[in-house]
Amino acid sequence: MASHSLTLFSSSSTFAPFSSHQIHSPNLSTVRFPRPINTKPNHHSLRCSVSIEKEVPETERPFTFLRDSDDDSTHSSSVRARFEAMIRAAQDSVCEAIEAVESGPKFKEDVWSRPGGGGGISRVLQDGNVFEKAGVNVSVVYGVMPPEAYRAAKGSASSDQKPGPVPFFAAGVSSVLHPKNPFAPTLHFNYRYFETDAPKDVPGAPRQWWFGGGTDFTPAYIFEDDVKHFHTIQKQACDKFDPSFYPRFKKWCDDYFYIKHRDERRGLGGIFFDDLNDYDQEMLLKFSTECANSVVPAYIPIVEKRKDMEFTEKHKAWQQLRRGRYVEFNLVYDRGTTFGLKTGGRIESILVSLPLSARWEYDHKPEEGTEEWKLLDACINPKEWI
C-alpha cells in the first residue's frame, strides 16, 4: 500500500515562526521543510525534483528497513534505528489491541521495500465486528530533495552558496481508526522523524532534523468521561517532559484540524506538534515514544465501553454526517492528500484514512440543546476538558 511518489507543498505558518515545505508519502503522513516566512521558492521545481525509488513488494517483514550504512554507532544513526524500532512497536501494539477488541477479524498486511533502502508495512482491517475501517502504517524513506528545499531547511544559507541535491531520511507511523458504533469515537495518530544529510558538495554542512506528530479524538457524541480520559492521558504523556507541552500542543491541535469553510473543528482535539528541534534530540525521541505508547491506554478503554451500546438510525446518520466532515478536512485541507491526488500517487494509500461510508444532507442543522448540537458546539468552540 505504498506510493512511489512524494509530494512537496506549502503549509500555513500560523503555528510556528516558519512556514513550511512538506514532503508527503501516503504511508508516512507529512515531513516538513521549515523556511523563513518571507521566502518565496519556486513551488513547481520543489515538487518535481524530490526523488525516491519505486517500491518493491515483499513477502516477509525485514528486521529493519534501514540501510546497512546506518547500522553504526553514530548518534544520528542511532536515533534513526531507535525511531524505526519505536514506530514498528507502536504499529504492533495498536494492531494487537484492535484485533483483541475485534475477537476474530485480522489486519491485512502489505510489506514493501526499496532497492536503495527504506520501505514500509501497511495494515488495514475493514468491515470488522467493531471497526468499519482501521489502518496502521509505518514507513521508512530515503530520498533526495532539491537544493532549494535544503536552503529553506537551513534558513541561513548565503545567496552565493549553491549546494547540490540533498539526501534525506524520514520515518513515521500513521493511523486512523473508524469504529462502527456511533457512540465509539474515531481516532487518528501519527509520529514522525526527519533528517537531512549534508550535501555532497558542501562538506561539513550541518545536518537538519526534527520530530512531529500527535493524537486526536473525533467522536460523534460527547461522553465527558471519555473526553476527559483521552485528554488526561495526553496531558500525562506531555507532563513527563515539559508542563508547557500539553496546553501548547492542545491549542495547536485545535487550530490545525480546523475546517475553514464550516468554521468548526474536525473533532474534540488532542495534541499536535511539528518541526520540533529546539529541545534535546534524545528528549524528543523519548517524548515521541511516550506519546505513541499512550495511544492504546487513551483509546481502547473507550472503545470497549462504547462498542456494544444500542443505537438508532438517527444516531448512525449523525455519525455519517460527522464522517462527512472528516472527509472534507482530509480532501480539502490535508495538503498531502490533495497534492497526491493531483500527482498520480497510489490512490489506495492516499485515501486509506477515509471511512468506508459518510453522509451529506442539505443544510442540516441539529436542534439546539440536543446531543448532536452539543457536539457541534464543542467543535465550533473548543473547550478545555481537563
Q: What is the pLDDT of residue 228?
A: 98
pTM value is 0.83
Query: Which superfamily does 56-380 belong to?
Result: Coproporphyrinogen III oxidase, aerobic (3.40.1500.10)
pLDDT category of residue 39 using cuts at 50, 70 and 90 = very low
pLDDT surpasses 50 at 9: no
Judge whether residue 242 has pLDDT over 70: yes
3-state secondary structure (DSSP) of residue 253? helix
pLDDT band with cut points at 50, 70 and 90 for residue 297: very high
Task: Taking residues 285-290, report their average pLDDT.
Answer: 98
Task: Give 143's pLDDT tier (boundaries 50, 70, 90).
Answer: confident
- Distance of alpha carbon 353 from alpha carbon 234, whole angstroms: 22
Residue 46 has pLDDT above 50, yes or no: no
**Domain parsing of the chain, residue ranges:** 56-380
127-142 in b/e form (b: 16+ CB < 10 A) is: ebebbbbbbbbbbbbb
- Close Cβ partners of 360 (under 8 Å, ≥ 6 residues apart): 321, 324
pLDDT of residue 127: 97
AA letter at 246:
Y
Long-range interactions of 316-320: CB distance < 8 A, separation 24+: 316/182, 317/359, 318/182, 318/220, 318/221, 318/366, 318/372, 319/182, 319/220, 320/357, 320/358, 320/359
* Cell numbers at 34, concatenated: 521549515
User: How far is 59 from 51, CA to CA, in rounded Å?
Assistant: 25
* Higher-confidence position of 348 and 181: 181
Contact, 191 vs 267, CB < 8 A? no
342 contact partners, CB below 8 Å, separation of at least 6: none
Query: d(Cα 372, Cα 13) in Å, to the nearest integer?
Result: 33
Query: Which one-letter DSSP state was computed for residue 198?
Result: P
Which residue would you say has higher pLDDT here, 97 or 117?
Answer: 97
| Nearest alpha carbon to residue 139 among 87, 96, 100, 177 | 87
Contact 14, 275 (CB under 8 A): no
pLDDT digits (tens, 9 = 90+) for 49-96: 555 567 788 999 999 999 887 755 454 558 999 999 999 999 999 999
Sequential DSSP letters for 282-345: HHHHHHHHHHHHTHHHHHHHHHHHHTT----HHHHHHHHHHHHHHHHIIIII-HHHHHHHHTT-
pLDDT recorded at residue 6: 36
List active site positions: 188
Whether residue 132 contacts residue 178, with contact meaning beta carbons closer than 8 Å, is answered with yes
Check whether 379 has a pLDDT greater than 50: yes
